[in-house]
Amino acid sequence: MTPDPASAAGALGSAVALAAQIRAGERSAREVTEEALAAVAARDGDVHAFLHVLADEAAAAADAVDAAVAAGRDPGPLAGVPVALKDNLCTRGTPTTCGSRILEGWRPPYEATVVAKLRAAGAVALGKTNMDEFAMGSSTENSAYGPTRNPRHAGKVPGGSSGGSAAAVAAGFAPLGLGSDTGGSIRQPAALCGVVGMKPTYGRVSRYGLVAFASSLDQIGPFATSVEDAALLFDVLAGHDSCDSTSLASDPDPTLPALGEGVEGVRVGLCRDLVDGCAPDVQARVHEAADALTGAGAKVEEISVPEFGFGLSAYYLIAPAEASSNLARYDGVRYGLRVDGDDAEAMNIATRTAGFGPEVKRRVMLGTYALSAGYYDAYYAQAQRVRTLVMRAFDRAYESVDVLLGATAPTTAFDLGAKVDDPMAMYMNDVCTIPSNLSGHPAISVPFGTGDDGLPVGVQVLAPALGEATLFRVARAVEVHAPAAVAARKEEAS
C-alpha cells in the first residue's frame, strides 16, 4: 500500500507517538519492529530502499528496549523507534558498502557516533539504505547495487544521494532515517519523496564513522514524516564529539520544546535565486508557502542573492577535489575489494578500476584535474574564493531577514534513466541546495503540496549557522499550512 503522498506519519505512526507509547508500555518495541520488518518484506522488493536489512539485530535491540521498560528503566527518547541508516554510516560488524563494489562485504570495526547515539537513545536500526555510490549523485541510480524507486511512483527516481533513506521513510518502513548531505543529498530526496529532510550546521553533528566524500561539506541529518519527528531526531544527534575534529565545542539546547512557538514577527526572505529557475508548479508552491507564512504572522519580503548562481560551479570543483583526495584510501590494501596485479601499483589500479563506478571515476578525475599543476589556481582556489563570496552574501542577507525561503529541487521526481547519462543535467538538481553546504548553514525541506504531475514538492527553509531552533519553528509553520494538513483539518472538522 502506498501511503497518501500528502499524509504525515506512515503506518507505524510518528516517532514521537511511538516512543511515548513504548516508554509507557502501551506497545512493545518488538511488535513495532516486526511490523516494520513485515512492511519491508512486503514492499521493498519493489522499492529497493534497503541494501541490508538487519532483522536479527533489530529484534535484539527491540527486546532490550522492552526489557528496560519492564524493569522500570528509561529506554531513551527514541525508545523502540525503527530507523533506516544510509549505508555510508559505519555499523560495527555489519555491512557498510557506500553503494560501491569496492566496499562489498566490508564490516567496519567501529561504530559511527550517530549510530551509537541512536542506540543509546533506544532507537532500533532496521537496516542500511541504498545510495548513489559514495554519495555522488542525485537519483540513487549510481548505486552499484541497482536503483531505488520512488515509493510515490515506481517509474520515478527517489532523488539522491540518500534516496534509500528517503524512500524507506516515505514508504512507511521506518518513521525515521539518517542521510548525509554534501550538496543536497538529504533535502533533495526528501523533496522528491514527500518527506522532511534536514541538514544541520556544519560541525553540529559528529561525522565520526561517516565515510568521507567531501569533508568540508558533508553533514549527517534526519529524515522524518514530520518536522516534529525531525527535530526529535536532530536533538538526539547534535552535540560535541571528541572523535571528530570538526565537531563544534558547544552542545546545543534542544529544539523540540520551542517548535510550536509560531512565526509571529519572524523575518522571512523569499529568495528569488532559489525559486526563479524552477519549474512553474514548484515556483507556485513556494509562493503559496510564503503566503501561508505571511498569514501566520511572519514578515515575508522578496530578496535576491545573485551570488548563489555561482554555487553550482564552485561546488562541482570543490567536492570532486576533496573526493579525489578522500577516495585515495581505496587502494586494495586494508579493506574492501582487491584485484590482483603484478606489483602494488598494478594492484591499486586494477582494484580501483574494477571497484569504482562511472560517476565516481568522473568525479575523482575532475577533482584530480582541478587540483593538478596549472589548474589548481584557476579552478580549485578560484572555487574556494567563490565559496567566500557565497558566505559573505549569506551574511548580508541575514542582516535583514532571519531565514530564507526557496525551493528544494527545481522539479518534482523525474523518470528513472532520464538524466543518468547526462552528468551536467543531473548536477543541476542541486542548484538550490548547494549554497547551504558551501556556507555550512542548516537548511530543511518540508513537503508542500504536489506538482502538476501529482508528485510531492519540497519547500526549503534556510537559516544562519546554529539557527536550527528557528529553522524547525519556521518549517513547522510551513508544514501546518501545507495543503495536506489544511485538507486533513477540514476533513476532521466536517
Partner 1 sequence: MSDATTPRGSTEPAALSREDVIYVAQLARLELSEAEVELFTAQLRTVLDHAADVASLDLAHLEPSSHPIAFENVLRADEPVPSLDREEVLAAAPSVEDHRFRVPHIGSEAP
Catalytic residues: 86, 161, 185
Rounded to a whole number of angstroms, the minimum distance from the CB of residue 308 to partner 1 is: 12
Cβ atoms of 79 and 63 within 8 Å: the answer is no
Residue whose CB is less far from partner 1, 234 or 310: 310
Rounded to a whole number of angstroms, the minimum distance from the CB of residue 271 to partner 1 is: 19
Alpha-carbon distance of 130 to 127, in angstroms, equals 10
Buried b (16+ CB within 10 A) or exposed e, 374-386: eeeeebbebbbeb
Q: What is the DSSP letter of 348?
A: H
Q: Which residues, in sequence order, are CB contacts of 405 under 8 Å at separation 6+?
A: 268, 269, 270, 271, 274, 286, 289, 290, 293, 300, 459, 460, 461, 462, 474
206, amino acid identity = S
Rounded to a whole number of angstroms, the minimum distance from the CB of residue 397 to partner 1 is: 16
Phi-psi region of 386 (alpha: psi -120 to 50; beta: other; left: phi over 0): alpha
Residue whose CB is less far from partner 1, 159 or 203: 203
Residue whose CB is less far from partner 1, 42 or 344: 344
Rounded to a whole number of angstroms, the minimum distance from the CB of residue 257 to partner 1 is: 26
Residue whose CB is less far from partner 1, 51 or 477: 51
Residue whose CB is less far from partner 1, 466 or 486: 466
403-407 β-sheet, strand order: 50-53, 124-129, 82-86, 176-181, 219-224, 196-199, 443-450, 456-462, 403-407, 267-271, 299-303
Residue whose CB is less far from partner 1, 234 or 379: 379
Alpha-carbon distance of 251 to 244, in angstroms, equals 14
Q: What is the DSSP letter of 380?
A: I
Rounded to a whole number of angstroms, the minimum distance from the CB of residue 239 to partner 1 is: 15
Rounded to a whole number of angstroms, the minimum distance from the CB of residue 73 to partner 1 is: 27
Q: Which residues, in sequence order, are CB contacts of 186 under 8 Å at separation 6+?
A: 162, 166, 179, 180, 197, 198, 199, 221, 222, 223, 445
| Closest listed residue to residue 262, CA positions, set 231, 235, 228, 293 | 293
Cβ atoms of 469 and 448 within 8 Å: the answer is no
